[in-house]
Each structure stands twice: as structure tokens, then as C-alpha cells.
Structure 1
């Protein structure tokens, strides 16, 4: 590897080195604060290295990895999300009796796997990144071993993820048999205009694996149970870093600069997007557990992002990326509030746990309200502009059915978000202000995320310009 390649790959190399350093530090002496600090410093260092990597791109390293502006933008999103998860995790784990240090090592490995997905252009690197991410998540989901629901969620995810990986492998084999290449760009070309059985069957099997990781219909059944059973910081990680890496991969794979995705791939993805938007919002209406509500909500939000992917054109990739950035910011803030409100005995997971919250902890209630309204797409929040860009991309390619479904499903979604908001501002018998002190790392993270929710909703120009510039590297 020459100097230019080393510079381009420095974010991945720093994350890998940080994982090794954290592992050795754990072996020498267990110290929660030290390991958390090493992890956070490594993630920040990896983020800072993106600015140096910019001078060495575009750069292809062997046939496996491609580093370009698009890769750097998505790696920046993943690293920012991972850093917020780490900050929320510190106070959460401090209240638990589990060994805390290995948690951060697993976060580093899972984030590295997700970053590998972002830069993958070959089947081998794609599958290695996916398995590194998935195996780390198996342990993270069931990390709180003394809670049966956490173990159950981990086992469910393990079984279903293994099954989806098997389907993915078989699908890739079928497409390889048709294309004769293991490069993702050749895979896309194999089924672009072909009606033969192997590439179509392979595409459907690959979308099974990809759909599982994105938790879109009909591969969504694991989502509410895993979201409910996993520790809150892990749930936030799954909703952001895990899904972000996979979406970056399929956006690179399916990116079309003309009239959007058409043919068999377009039809299948359109059906998945419509079903995800409707099913996610309708199923959330019946829930009383906030984690399950946000799980079904995440299914709908992935459907919204797929609308921009299907639209393609000049706006498709930038709209999808901006929407993910807005969603990451909002959902991290929502789970951050839930993490702060949780205690060593139980998590604040049910709507009743938030009843009258405004009268006890008005600041947290206000922040949670902003996050929920952003998820609903209310103006002046990041979620509103995210949906605006998605709808603009869809309208530019006349995707009217998808847009109609988006508008209808978003209206349905407003109801269950407002249920939580109404509970927070309801008057109860216990209206004494709480005097508990919020953990400093979580407080800083929540303050930054709250500012970003409004900044991205009011002044999107800097991020939008950077995303549009990066999307050009996709061709």
C-alpha cells in the first residue's frame, strides 16, 4: 500500500487500530472510563482523518474497496452516529452490573464493518463487512445477560440474520453465474435488461438479505422484538449505523443517473417501499411500547428513503443521503432521551413512563417533543426538509404512486407520535420537578443533536451542497 492509498484508507485503518488498542487495554486492566475514552478518541480520530483522505481520493484499493467523496460522506455520518451512541452508552452502562468494557470493543468492530460496506465494490468485501457488522450485533443485542428479553432478542436476531445471509450468498452465486464477475457493478448490469431466471432469482435472494438488514417489509418481523429487547444504546446503533452502511451500499449499487430504477429491480423495490411505508405506520398505531413504536416507525422511514433511491436522477442519491442524515440525528436524539430517563431497574420504554414528563423534567420533554415532531416531518425540523427533498426527487421522475403513499402514510404516522407528545404534557398526580442530574456525556450529546435537528431544518445549504458534490462521484 503506497502513501496515497494509506491516506485514503486511513479512516478504516484508524478504526481497526482503535479496536486492537481497546482490546489490549481491556486485557491489561478493566477500567470503564479509560476504555470509553479510548473508543471515543479513536472514532473522533477516524472522523478527522476523513479531511486528510479527501486529498487522496478517488482511490481504488485492489478490486475490493473504492474510496471517493460519496464514501467519505457516508463514513462521516456513521462515525458521528457511533460517537453519539458511545456518549449515551457511558451513563447507561455505568448503572449496570455487566462487564462494560467489551461493549465499546463491539461498537468499534460493528462500526468498522458498516464502514466496509460503504466502500465495498466487490462481493468479498461486501460479505466481510456484513458479517463483521452482524456478528458484533449478535452480542450487543443480548449484552444485558441478566434480562431474559435481551437474550431472546439476541437469539432471534442470530437465527434470522444467519438465514438471511444464506439467502444473500445463494443470490450472489446466481448473479455471478450470469455475470461472470464478483464486482457489484457487474451484478447490477446482469439483471438490468435481462429476463432470464438466474439473475432475477439472484436479485430477489440478495434483496432478502439486504431487506433484512434494512428492516423493510416483508423482512421486518424481527425489528420490534429486537428493538424492544436490545439495550437502548444498541437500539440506537441498529437504527443508524447498521442501516446506514447497508443503505450506502445499495445506493451505490443501484444508482441510476437517468430516469431512476426500472425493470424487475424497480418493480420489486417499489412494492417493498410502498408496503414498508404503509405497514410500518399502521402497525405502530397499536403499540404502547415506545421502543416498538420507533421500531415500526423505522420500517416506514426506510420506505421513505427507498422512494429517493427509486427516483434516481440528479436528486435521488442526494435526497436519500440527506434524509438519512436527518433521520440519524432525530432517532439518536429520541433514544438519547429514553436512555437518560432509564434507571438501573428498568428502561423508560412505555408511553406511561412519559406521562406528565413535562411537569417533572421540562427540558427533556421539550427535546423529546422536537425529536418526535421531526420524525413526523413537521416544518422547521430536519425531518421536514428530509421528506421535502425525497418528495422533490420523486416528483422530478413522476413517481406519483410512491409520493401519494408517502403523504398518506406520513399523515397516519403523525397520530402515534402525537400520542407520546400528549402523554408528556398531560397533568398527573406526580408533578414535582425531578432533581436528578443528567450524565455529562449524554447531556452534551443531546444538546448537540437538538441543535442539529433545528439547524438541518432551517439551514440545510452546507450539508446539502456537500452531499450533492459527493453524489457526483457515483457517476
Structure 2
């Protein structure tokens, strides 16, 4: 490995080193605040290493890893989300019984897997990164053993994730059997030499799509999502909804774009059906929920459907336009989802998770700042103007219009209308009279670190909603 490859790969090395340092810190002295500090510093060092690597052009570190500008941008987004989750974890777990220091090591291990995923150019690193991410999430979901449904959610995620991994491996095996290649570029060269669609390769792609569909909770592979979101601790739910899904979607996008459009023709119908089903099922089932975490879980299914619209448009328009639309929407989705689950995390207590609507009755009167932040997050998820979520949906709509996906765009409009109802319902509940709220004696303690993160997310949410040009200028030309 030469110096340029080392510098390009340094951020991933720093994340791995941070995980080792945190593990050694726990072995020497158990102190939750110290462990959070060490994990946060490790991610900050990794972000600085990314800034150093930003001076490099695209670098093929090994046959398995390719670090380019787009991979560095997405990795920075994942690390920033990881920092926010660590802040939420600090306020969430600091007053809870038990030994919670290992939680930080698991978060760093999951971030390591996600970083490998977004820089992968080979099926080996695809699978290694995905399993490193998934195995860490199994434990994170069931970390709070005394919490209702936590162990059940972890077991469900373990079983279904194992099934999805089997689908992925089968798909990779079929593609390798036909192409003789595991590298994305090698697969592209083989496919470019073929005049007709190959049945074995397309069957392999179907298996891969099914496996990834589990990870992204796309319909009909979505059944685990509400149970896992409800059973996991609120900060871990935020991590699954953002870092896990974001990394997998970026990998899926890069894999299909690297195929030179070979798969878009035969796969277009399948992806379209999945997008329509995800938007409809996600929004309709969210309408029926009185549990906030389950409502946000079904909402996330719908948002993955929205992202699929831009993904499908990649078969008809320039790939760079699709990448820009998907990336901007992902940034907006990360901010709003982190903010929404951050509010749930702050309101939760060691005795009860803030999932029932009764926790939010009169929140505007009891915690006006927190209620205002939650309102901004919900309005952004609904796609209301002056928020980053609106701009993200606009770019998705523009990509779909360029690709002439009129039926899918109609579903986006219908889904957004349905989503507006249940988001506004929660806002109305928060504005109800204070007498209907929970007893003030059962209020969660004020989380200073989490509140600072939420304030920053809210400012960025509004800033990118009013002035999206700066963020889009960063995204343009990355791919």
C-alpha cells in the first residue's frame, strides 16, 4: 500500500482504531462518560482524516475498496450521524442501571461496516461490510434487556437478517458462476460484451434485490421494521433508520449504476412495484398507529419508496442527476429522522420509552423548545416548504419527471398527502391543553448534549430548506 492509498483509507483505519481504543478503555476503567468521550473523539479524528483524504483523487486502495469523492462525502454523513447518535446515547443511558459502555464499541463497529459498504467495489467487501454492520445491530437492538420487546425485536432482526444474507450470497454466487467476476467493474465489462440478457445473472440480481430489500425494509420485506423500531432503544432506532439504511441504499445505487444500465430494463417493473407498495403500505399503516416509534417506522418504509423513484429514474436519465437527487434527499432524511428520534430519546425515561401519544399531550406547554424542534422535523418529513425535506422531495420529483415516471410521481403525491395527515395529527396532540399531558413528575431529565445536537439539526434543516444551493453545490460533481 503506497502513501496515497494509505491516506485515502485512513478514515476507515481511524474508525477501527477508535473501536479498539474504546474497547481497551472499557477494559481499564468502566466510566460511561469517558467512553462516550473517547468514541466521539475517535469519530472526530476520522472526520479530520476524511478532510485529509479529500485532497486525493479517486484511489483504488485494494481490488476490494475504491475511495472517491462521493464515497468520502457519504462516509462523512455517516460519521456525523454517528456523532449525533452517541450524543443521544449519552443522555439516554447515563442514568440507567447496568454496564452500558460496550454500546459505544458496537456503534463504532457498525460505523466501520457502513464505511466499508459505501467504499466497496467488490462483492467480498459488500458482504463483509454488510455483516459487520448487521451483527453489531443485533446486539444494539437488544441491548436494554429490561425493556419491553427489546429481546424479541433483536431475535426477529437476527433471523430475518440471516435470511436476507442467504439471499445475498445466493445472488452473488449465481452472478459469479456466470461472469467469473466478483469485482463490480469486472461484472460491468462482462455484461457489456453480452448482447442478450442472461437468465442466471438476472436471477442473481433478483436474489440480491430481495436481500437488500430486507435491509431497506422495502415492501414486501418490511415486516420486521415496526417491531424492531419499537423494541430498540430510541438512539439505536435512529441509528438503524439512518446509518444502516443509508449505507445499504448507497451501495445498491453504486452497484446498479456500475452495471451500465444493463439491469434497469428487466428490473424496472420490479422496482416500480416495490416503490408503489412501499409508499402505499408505509403511509396507510402509519395512519393507523398510536405508537410514535411504529408510526415513524412505517413512515421510513414510505421514504425508502420515495428514494426508489429517483433510483428507477437512473435507467432513463444521466446518472449524476440521479445521484444528486438521492444524496440530497438522504441528507434531509438523515437530519429529520435523527431529530425525530432524538426527541423521543430525550423524552424517554429509564421506566418507560416515550412511544405512546400520551407522552406528547401538551408538549408545547411543558417543553416548548423540544416541541418546536419536533414540529420542524415532522414538517420536513411531510415535505412542507422552507424545510430540507421539501427540497429533497422536489429533487426526487424532478428526477422522476426527467425519467417520465408519471405513475410513480402520482404515487409520491398521494403518499405525501397521506403522510401529511399523521404528521399533523402528532403536532395537534402536542398543542393540546396541558391538563391532558402526563404528570410533570414523570418528565424525563433535561438532556443538554442531545438538546445541542437537536438545535444544530433544526438550524441545518431550515437553512438547507431556504438556501439549498450550498449543499447541492457540494453534492454536484461528486460521482
- Pick the TM interval, shorter chain: over 0.9
Counterpart-to-counterpart distance in 2, 1:371 and 1:107: 24
Counterpart-to-counterpart distance in 2, 1:283 and 1:190: 43
* Shift, 1:6, TM fit: 0.9
Alignment equivalent of 2:462, drawn from 434, 454, 465: 454
Matched, 1:439 2:447: yes
* Mapping of residues 66-215 of structure 1, within 5 Å: 66-187=66-187, 194-215=196-217
Task: Indicate the SS of the match to 1:409.
Answer: helix
Structure 1 residues 261 and 357, CA gap change in structure 2 (3 angstroms): farther
Counterpart-to-counterpart distance in 2, 1:185 and 1:307: 25
The corresponding residue for 1:285 is 287
Task: Indicate the SS of the match to 1:66.
Answer: strand
Structure 1 ranges of 4+ moved more than 6 A: 189-193, 256-261, 431-436
Q: Which moved more, 1:55-64 or 1:223-232?
A: 55-64
Structure 1 residues 190 and 373, CA gap change in structure 2 (3 angstroms): farther
* Shift, 1:189, TM fit: 6.4
Structure 1 residues 261 and 93, CA gap change in structure 2 (3 angstroms): same
Alignment equivalent of 2:265, drawn from 263, 266, 278: 263
The corresponding residue for 2:388 is 382
Counterpart-to-counterpart distance in 1, 2:374 and 2:404: 35
Counterpart-to-counterpart distance in 2, 1:259 and 1:23: 44
* Mapping of residues 30-69 of structure 1, within 5 Å: 30-69=30-69
Deviations 1:287-307 (A, max 9, x none): 110000000000000111111
TM-score of the pair, normalised by structure 2: 0.95
Contact 2:343-2:374 at 8 Å conserved across structures: yes
Contact 2:65-2:122 at 8 Å conserved across structures: yes
Counterpart-to-counterpart distance in 1, 2:409 and 2:189: 27
The corresponding residue for 2:306 is 304
* Shift, 1:195, TM fit: 3.5
Task: Indicate the SS of the match to 1:57.
Answer: coil
Query: Please, what is the CA RMSD of the aligned residues?
Result: 1.9
* Shift, 1:56, TM fit: 2.0
* Shift, 1:389, TM fit: 0.6
The corresponding residue for 1:397 is 403
The corresponding residue for 2:418 is 412
Gap regions ≥5 residues in structure 1? none
Counterpart-to-counterpart distance in 1, 2:406 and 2:184: 30
* Shift, 1:262, TM fit: 2.9
* Shift, 1:260, TM fit: 10
Counterpart-to-counterpart distance in 1, 2:415 and 2:436: 36
Counterpart-to-counterpart distance in 2, 1:271 and 1:254: 18
Q: Size of the alignment, in residue pairs?
A: 471
Counterpart-to-counterpart distance in 2, 1:95 and 1:270: 46
* Shift, 1:191, TM fit: 6.7
Task: Indicate the SS of the match to 1:76.
Answer: helix
Counterpart-to-counterpart distance in 1, 2:190 and 2:269: 16
The corresponding residue for 2:274 is 272
Counterpart-to-counterpart distance in 2, 1:114 and 1:177: 27
Contact 1:114-1:242 at 8 Å conserved across structures: yes
Task: Indicate the SS of the match to 1:470.
Answer: coil
Task: Indicate the SS of the match to 2:156.
Answer: helix
Q: Which moved more, 1:91-100 or 1:229-238?
A: 91-100
Counterpart-to-counterpart distance in 2, 1:132 and 1:257: 25
Q: Which moved more, 1:208-217 or 1:193-202?
A: 193-202
* Shift, 1:361, TM fit: 1.0
Gap regions ≥5 residues in structure 2? none
Task: Indicate the SS of the match to 2:66.
Answer: strand
